[in-house]
Every structure is written in structure tokens, then in C-alpha cells.
Structure 1
Amino acid sequence: MSDSTETLQSDPSSGTSRRLLRAGGATVAAALVGVGIGVGIVEVRFDDTATTATAATAAAVTSPSPAASTTPFGAKSNGNHFGSLRDLLLPMPDGYGPGPDDGNYGNDAELTADQLSAEIDDDLVPVPKEQQDKLRRFWEDLHVKAAGVRTYRNQTVVLGIRLHQFNQQEVQKMNEYTAVFAGDTGLFRLGPAVPGHPEAHCYLMPAPPSAPIDRMECSAAEGDLLVVLTAEGVAPLPKDKIVNLLTQQLDRLARPGASA
């Protein structure tokens, strides 16, 4: 076994693993914002020239509480999900164990809108005042409900899946924006397709051919959930297995009802 493989296995709290789990979309954000924005939806899209969401978007229709169901979680026909995000997250697959902690939240958690907002406030401290105001307005217009996170690992790869729940129109826009940015800038390597899920896209981080560790990010929109998968491991990454896990996660979220 290579030294890089041993490092990945033996140190679940390594800086590399922590960065992996906190950085879904962070590469895109770094290019757009020019500063580290920490965790949360703001990582995925922000453009200095972009206006805040329109009143129509901000006032997106919300659905009534779901009626009694045999399943405590799932997706309605309109795309809104109900139940705990921890239930909606992909259960631990065979051959994987819990991964490293995601920041202060452990490796299996649901974050409330208040928790996420507090993190955004902390991360904005070093940002110029004018940009702080824009980012906060952007955040407020998203109508963030919650975020769920679960981490996974095997002998060669560490993965994190985040579910960000907020305004459906903005979920779609963010996913499309990330796809265009990652594909058109030439900064990233094109990742594999996700069969059955044309809305999903994957891309790999810049790396020299001889790099021992590689990293891939995937993003997909499923109703009011933005799904972000991050994977890091010994090169070459097992892309087919990573795509299979993402497919399982997206199938679990499919409307009109998520599978148990």
C-alpha cells in the first residue's frame, strides 16, 4: 500500500480530509469572490455583478405540511422534500464506514438555518463591508431551510455528501451556474456523466499527471435540494464507484417519494 493510501486511512481528521468536506463548491467560490467563505450555500455561487434574487424568487411558493404518510421522509410531486435531511441522505453503503468530521458537526448531522447563518456571519468577518452586505442579502433571499451532511470512507477514498435545502428556483440556478463555470473556464478537468441524471455534473480539480491524490466534486439539483458530493483519494479515483454512490443518493431523493 502506498504512503498516500496509509495517510488517507490512518488520519481521519487530517487537514486534507477536513478541507474536502468543507469545500463543496469552494473552488468556484474562490474564483468568484476572491476570499474563503467557509461552509454554506454562499460557497456555491456568488458574483459581484449579480443582483439579489427577484421578489418573485424570494416569494417562491411554499407547500403546506405533508399529509400523514407511511414514509416519514420523501419528496412531494412539486419537488419539495419533507422529513429529516439525515433520513434523506444516503445510508452507509456496503464497504464504507463513517468518514471524518465535517467541521464542528461530526460526520452525520443536520444543520438548521440558524446554525448555517451563524457560520456565514463568522466567515464574513474578514470580508469588506460592502461585500458582506451583498452576501447577507443573497443569503436571505435564498430562504435556506437546512443542510444535511454525511461522510463516508473506504481504504482509498473519502467522500462527503451535503444536501442544501432552499428555494427551488435558486437551487436550479446554482446548479446550472456551477456546471457552466466548471465547464467553460478551462480550470477544471471534465468528470464522468451520471447516468439517468442529466442535471448532475462532475468535475475534477486541477492536478499534475503525477499527483498521488486526486479530487472530484459533483453537483445536482433535485427539487428544493442542492446535492454536493466531494471525493478525495488515491489517484486514479474510482470514478465509477463515486458516480454509483451519487446515483444512489439522487434516486433516494427522486419525486414523488424517496425510497427507504
Structure 2
Amino acid sequence: MAGSVLLACAVVGGTVVTVRGADRGHGSPTWKFPETPAEGEDGADGKGPRKGAAAGSGLSALMVPFGTDGFQPGPDMREFGSDAEFSGAQATALRKESIKDLPSASRRKLEKLIDKEPVKGMAMRSYAVAWSDYNRKDTIVFDVTLSRLENPTAARRSATAFNGFLAAVDVFRKGPRIEGRPDARCSLSPKGEAEDLGVALCTAAVGDVLVSVSSAAPDPIDGTFVAKFFAAQLARIDDPGQAV
């Protein structure tokens, strides 16, 4: 079970990697992908992930479109911008980078698990929306990661393991449930002062796609609003052509 939990964290780790690197100052070292993967698997320039991938291309087409309900491109996710799509090889490299600070024995064990349960592709998108339409003065930021796994069983296993991990650490509060999605979970950071940063983490599987949504805003973070966006993202995957 411990291996499954850690592997799930590594699957969701694509977003963790970018968030961890977001505060780096100008001129700080940045992580680079390994050598270019096989031809046809990389970005449009042949050297990295596709940025600003066009609608209709792979997993990016399953994202809630920019402009929906005021959602605009959010902060850059490190060097990847606010919208990026990755091949399976690149997604695997991101997962392994997310665990690089673990003790060597644990890291090697997880790297073997990652290789046994590969990701076939991944897309990430960052959103920002002002809360003025919701009687709030602040801006809320969302990072969405979609990972296509080998099959629906693998996606469900990863979502269940990650949500179970959040429940077990006894730090996050239970967030709102998603109607019609019994396996979807949202967790909220402990309530803090107004100047603190509130965080919400939501994870679910839709078919073979693992969906991870992380959100940040000044406390108290609006869990209902986060859950509404999360539900819209899940519905978008069910029916990519529907209006959200």
C-alpha cells in the first residue's frame, strides 16, 4: 500500500514539480528534460513539451477552455508556461524528477514502480479568475493536470491511493463532494488567517485519465467554488464537446 501511495504522489507530481519551482528567482537553475524522446513523441519544435497546444490535440482538448466563466491563463508553471502537453516519455521524466529528493533506496524503488505503470501522456494548464463575480475581491488560481494511464484500473488505483494518503495524514480537511462522482475527492488546507494562503487538492479518475486539480487563494478558500470547477473539468472529459 505504501508503494501505491508514493507512486500516486509521483503521478500527480507533475504539478508538484511546477509549483515547487514557481518561486525560484530570476537566474536560478531550472530543470531540463532528458534527451529528446523518440521522434513523434515530443513537442512541435522537436525539443520539448508543446506549449499552448491547439484545441483538439490530445489531452489539452479535454481541459476546460480558457475564457470559460472568466477563467484566464494563470501563472507560468515554471518554464512550461500556463499551458503545456507532454509525451509519455516526458511525463515519466517529470514524475521521476518529482521524487529526486527522496533517499536513494526509496527513489530507486519508486522509479521501478513508475516504469512498471507508465503514463502515456500528460497535459497541464494554469488558470486564474477574479472572484469579483462571486462577491470576493481576491483572485483564485487553479493548476490542472491530466495524466493518461495504461487503463482505467490504473487511473482509479492512483486516484484512490492519493486521496487515501491525504485523508491519512490528518492535515487536510474534507472538502465538498462532487455530485454523481462517488470516487472524486477534494481536500482543503486547515483554516487560517485572511493573510494566509488556502489550498485545495482534488483528484479523480475518468476512464483512463487521472485528473488532479490544485487551487490556491487567500484564506478562507472557497471549497464550493473549487468543487464546481473540478466538477466542470470532470464533465468536460466525459463529453469534450460540451459547453461548460
Q: TM-score range by the shorter chain?
A: 0.5 to 0.7
- In the aligned structure 2, how far is the partner of 1:175 from the partner of 1:119? 18
| Superposition deviation, residue 95 in structure 1 | 1.7
- In the aligned structure 1, how far is the partner of 2:148 from the partner of 2:11? 19
- In the aligned structure 1, how far is the partner of 2:178 from the partner of 2:172? 17
The 1:36/1:246 distance shift into structure 2, 3 A limit, reads closer
| Superposition deviation, residue 32 in structure 1 | 5.5
The 1:249/1:182 distance shift into structure 2, 3 A limit, reads same
2:230 counterpart of 1:246: yes
Deviations 1:125-175 (A, max 9, x none): 544443232112111111211111111112321111110111222211111
2:91 counterpart of 1:116: yes
Alignment match, 2:128: 153
CA RMSD of aligned residues (A): 3.2
| Superposition deviation, residue 176 in structure 1 | 1.2
Alignment match, 1:50: none
Which of 98, 116, 133 matches 1:141? 116
Alignment match, 1:90: 64
- In the aligned structure 1, how far is the partner of 2:210 from the partner of 2:227? 16
Q: Which amino acid aligns with 2:58?
A: S
Q: Which amino acid aligns with 1:136?
A: E
Q: Which amino acid aligns with 2:60?
A: R
Alignment match, 2:75: 100
Aligned counterparts, 1:80-229, within 5 A: 84-92=58-66, 93-155=68-130, 156-167=139-150, 168-208=152-192, 212-229=196-213
- In the aligned structure 1, how far is the partner of 2:157 from the partner of 2:10? 22
**8 Å contact kept, 1:42–1:135:** no
| Superposition deviation, residue 38 in structure 1 | 9.3
Question: How many correspondences in the alignment?
Answer: 192
Q: Using the TM superposition, name which of 202-211 and 216-225 deviates more.
A: 202-211
| Superposition deviation, residue 205 in structure 1 | 2.2
**8 Å contact kept, 1:205–1:216:** yes
What secondary structure sits across from 1:40 in the alignment? helix
Q: Using the TM superposition, name which of 223-232 and 92-101 deviates more.
A: 92-101
Please list every run of 5 or more consecutive structure 1 residues that lacks an aligned counterpart in the other structure. Answer: 1-27, 44-71, 74-82
- In the aligned structure 2, how far is the partner of 1:97 from the partner of 1:115? 26
- In the aligned structure 1, how far is the partner of 2:197 from the partner of 2:101? 31
TM-score, reference length from structure 2: 0.68
Q: Which amino acid aligns with 2:79?
A: N
Deviations 1:70-101 (A, max 9, x none): xx96xxxxxxxxx5111011112222211011
- In the aligned structure 2, how far is the partner of 1:42 from the partner of 1:233? 17
Q: Which amino acid aligns with 2:61?
A: D
> Identity of counterpart residues, as a percentage?
26
Larger RCO (CA within 8 A; separation ≥ 6): 1
Q: Which amino acid aligns with 1:160?
A: D
| Superposition deviation, residue 182 in structure 1 | 2.0
- In the aligned structure 1, how far is the partner of 2:58 from the partner of 2:212? 17
